[in-house]
């Protein structure tokens, strides 16, 4: 099995896996590098360009890693969403609480 999985069944995608943790680590790094990279590149500083390029690469890697999983989660969840919405309306009503307490 490859280190990064890019094909998911709906059941597997529901689990928290290393692909999620890679996204969790890469995402703040991308934000830091892109924020500083843009500002320092505008000042024509060489390390600004380096930060910007690394930030863009990390952003691409982040999406490459997490996108197949998000697609699988979304596709499966959308099938159940209508039922869940119906349940939500039942669950969040005040009468639910009073009935339970009684």
Partner 1 sequence: MNVTFTLLDWLWVALFLLLMIGSGVLFYRLGKRSESDFFLAGRGLPWWLPASSVYATHTATDTPMWITGVIYQHGMAGIWYTFFSAWAAISSFVSTRIFRRSLAYTQAEWNVVRFTGLGSELLRGWMAGWQFFMNMFVLGWVGIAMGKVCEFLFGWPTWIGLISFSLVCAIYVLAAGYWGVVMADFQQGIIAFLVIMIVSFWGIFVAGGPTGIIDKLAALDMMERINPFAFTGWWSGSFPAAWFVTMLIIAVLGGFGMGTSIDWYVEAQRIQSAKSVRDASYSIWWGTLLGLVRNSVWAVSILAFFVLFPGMTETADYEMGWFRLGFDYLPAGMLGFFFAAILAIHLSTISSHLNLGALYATRDLYQHYVNPKADEKKLVQVGRISTVILLLGSFFYGLMMEDITSWLIFALWIMAAGIWLPNILQVIWWRFNAWGYLSAWIANLGFSWLVVWILPELGVIPELLDYQQFWLLMLLGALVFIPVTYLTKPESMDHLVHYYVMSRPIGWWGPVRREAERRGLITPAGDLAGLAAELSRPDDAKRK
Residues that bind partner 1 (CB under 8 A): 1, 9, 11-12, 14-16, 20, 23-24, 27-28, 30-32, 34-36, 38-40, 42-45, 66-67, 70-71, 73-74, 77-78, 81, 84-85, 87-88, 91-95, 97, 100-101
- Cα 77 to Cα 41: distance, rounded to the nearest angstrom: 42
Q: Minimum CB separation from partner 1 for residue 54, in Å?
A: 15
Q: Minimum CB separation from partner 1 for residue 99, in Å?
A: 12
Q: Minimum CB separation from partner 1 for residue 85, in Å?
A: 6
- CA 15 to the chain's CA centroid: 13
Q: Which is nearer to partner 1, 38 or 60 (CB)?
A: 38
- Cα 35 to Cα 28: distance, rounded to the nearest angstrom: 11
Tokens representing 74 are 């979304």
Q: Are 48 and 42 in contact (CB under 8 A)?
A: yes
């Amino acid at each position: 099995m490859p280190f990064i999985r890019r094909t998911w069944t709906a059941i597997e995608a529901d689990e928290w896996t290393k692909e999620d943790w890679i996204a969790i680590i890469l995402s703040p790094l991308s934000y830091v590098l892109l924020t500083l990279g843009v500002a320092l590149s505008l000042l024509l500083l060489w390390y600004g360009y380096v930060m910007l390029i690394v930030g863009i690469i990390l952003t691409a890697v982040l999406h490459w890693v997490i996108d197949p999983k998000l697609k699988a989660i979304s596709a499966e969840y959308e099938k159940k969403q209508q039922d869940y919405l119906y349940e939500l309306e039942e669950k969040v009503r005040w009468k639910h609480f009073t009935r339970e307490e009684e």
